[in-house]
Amino acid sequence: MFARIVNRRGAMSARLRAPPPTAGRRRAECFCETDASSMTDNTLTVMPTKCATCEVLQQAPLVCADCHSLLAHVQGADYFELFGLTRRYHIDEAELNSKYLAISRNIHPDRFGGAGPEMQSFALRASAAINQAYDVLRDPHRRAEYLLESSGGKSSAEDKRVPPDLLGKVMMLREEIEDARAGGDTAALSTMRATIEKDRRAAQQRISDLCAELTANDSDAIKGELRMQLNAMKYLDNLLAQL
């Protein structure tokens, strides 16, 4: 019964793969004309975009900052693209937030209080989509998951593999935590916390590197490796939550 978000992302990645990212430009379905695509470190972006209504060039293909008409059907559009950000793991969170606020100022349903029902419903859906995208992008783990799945990688439900030594290590740590807790050994607990946090940082670094490689080289090996690291991260986070 639980096909859930997995399916939705699957559907979306299919659309994103054709045309493949390397073949040309990727764009959301929108009313506006895409003017030009620029290339920065092998990443394709579709900015700037021209508003079909007033023809002003835009930084994000969602709403015209000038005449405020909604430009794109944002449902199913690429999350990075919605915010006019380069598709990569490293993002400037302050920039993301200020873009989010700027877009919200224009598309939030409150801005369409006097509009017709069609426009109101569009604003509602556009807002919901932008909020969803924002929630994913501002969380590093979900951001990496999104990069992986939207480039055709498997979801955590489809591929549960983890790095070979991880499971044994997690099991051992779990026992140690229980013992330390039973014995009230707070010193041991804080040492363990430090160890896990170190592992976590290492996994994070690896994820970051893999995401960078993924944008350059869309290979299954990298996707598989990234999937494993993301799965590992979940285990470590669960352990930390236990502490």
**Which residues are at the interface with another protein (CB under 8 A)?**
1-5, 7-8, 101, 104-105, 108-115, 124-125, 127-129, 131-132, 134-135
Question: Whose Cβ is closer to Zn ion: residue 53's or residue 156's?
Answer: 53
CB 49 within 8 A of CB 35: yes
Q: How far is the CB of 72 from Zn ion (least distance, A)?
A: 12
What does the alpha-carbon distance between residue 112 and residue 114 come to, in Å, rounded to a whole number? 5
For residue 149, give Cα distances in angstroms to 7, 110, 130, 239: 11, 33, 18, 25
Token code pair at residue 49: 């975009």
Q: How far is the CB of 69 from Zn ion (least distance, A)?
A: 5
For residue 211, give Cα distances in angstroms to 208, 224, 229: 5, 12, 11
Partner that binds at residue 113, options another protein, Zn ion, none, CB closer than 5 to 8 Å by kind: another protein
Token code pair at residue 217: 């080289």
Partner that binds at residue 67, options another protein, Zn ion, none, CB closer than 5 to 8 Å by kind: Zn ion
Residues 29-68, mask of contacts with Zn ion (x by CB under 5 A): ----------------------x-xx---------x-xx-
H helix and E strand count, the chain:
8, 5
Partner that binds at residue 117, options another protein, Zn ion, none, CB closer than 5 to 8 Å by kind: none
What does the alpha-carbon distance between residue 150 and residue 152 come to, in Å, rounded to a whole number? 5
Size of the site for Zn ion (CB under 5 A): 6
Residues at the interface with Zn ion (CB under 5 A):
51, 53-54, 64, 66-67
